[in-house]
Amino acid sequence: DIVMTQSPDSLAVSLGERATINCKSSQSVLYSSNNKNYLAWYQQKPGQPPKLLIYWASTRESGVPDRFSGSGSGTDFTLTISSLQAEDVAVYYCQQYYSTLLTFGPGTKVDIK
Amino acid sequence: EVQLVESGGGLVQPGRSLRLSCAASGFTFDDYAMHWVRQAPGKGLEWVSGISWNSGSIGYADSVKGRFTISRDNAKNSLYLQMNSLRAEDTALYYCAKGYYDILTGYYDYWGQGTLVTVSS
């Protein structure tokens, strides 16, 4: 199985400041034939189901604010919130879909400082 | 509007069975793979099982393999999860999730609200 890890476990950022979440996979999720990274990011607010933010490591889902961006390739990925808003308080998960045994990272909780 | 509505959760004793259902609407159901993802109380997300558009490809997490069976009825726009030999560690909110494409692997672009399964004596 591909094991996903995230860091930090939690972080507190002031409103308007940048939040950065890291995700690492135990093996590459870059598919060489199409040069795509099979990596997605989700946001989960309390009491709600997860919401897709980013797929193919850096493609923003329709309707997602452009303050959210994804980057990275191979085994190391980053989700950046460029200017944290109050409504961004949530847990963020990365997920690999390179393998048919789909796996999520443990999550990173983002709060307001 | 895409809607996924899960049902069938509840309190069940260890060793017993339960069948979850997911009613889908707002999209062409048989064009997409579908999945079950669960979340234990206060914990993270765990993929449970997935099924391709035509049921030709099915996958299970190691934790449920041999006990759970996923299926779909494209005529009824419905997804199912038959859960047998339930254990306390199966206690979780079970989400139905729509795959982005017809194949088994992929990300999930829509999620239901979940149905809670509690396994306890």
pLDDT digits (tens, 9 = 90+) for B33-70: 999 999 999 999 999 999 999 999 999 999 999 999 99
Q: What percent of chain B has pLDDT over 90?
A: 95
Judge whether B59 and B47 are in contact, CB under 8 Å. no
Phi and psi at residue B24, to the nearest 5°: -110, 145
Cβ contact A57:A77 at 8 Å: yes
What's the whole-number mean pLDDT along residues B87-97? 98
| Type of residue at A104 | F
- Given a cut of 80, whether residue B102 has pLDDT beyond it is no
Nearest-Cα residue of chain A relative to residue B58: A100
**Could you tell me if B109 lies within 8 Å of chain A, comparing CB atoms?**
yes
Per-residue model confidence (pLDDT) at position A77: 98
B45 contacts A104? CB cut-off 8 A: yes
Contact B47 A93 (CB under 8 A): no
User: Which residues 20-79 of A are in CB contact (within 8 Å) with B?
Assistant: 38, 40, 42, 44, 49-52, 55, 61
| B110 Cα to chain A: minimum distance (Å) | 7
Dihedral of CA B39/B40/B46/B47: which sign?
negative
Residue B117 has pLDDT above 90, yes or no: yes
Q: B62 and A1: CB-CB below 8 Å?
A: yes
Share of chain A above pLDDT 70, in %: 100
Residues B14, B87 contacting (CB under 8 angstroms)? yes
Most B CBs within 10 Å: which of A44, A102, A104, as the mutation test of the B interface? A102
The single-letter code of the amino acid at B102 is: D
Kindly state the DSSP code that residue B91 receives in the 8-state scheme: -
Summarize pLDDT for A57-70 with one digit per residue, the tens.
Answer: 999 999 999 999 99
Mean per-residue pLDDT of chain A: 97
The DSSP letter of residue A74 is: T
**How many whole angstroms separate alpha carbon B52 and alpha carbon A37?**
21
In the DSSP assignment, the letter for residue A80 is: E
Out of B50, B59, B107, closest to residue A40 by CB:
B107
What's the CA gap between A97 and A94, in Å, rounded? 10
A100 chain-B contacts, CB cut-off 8 A: 50, 57, 59, 104-105
B105–A102: do the CB atoms touch at under 8 Å?
yes
Q: How far is it, in rounded angstroms, from Cα A99 to Cα A29? A: 8
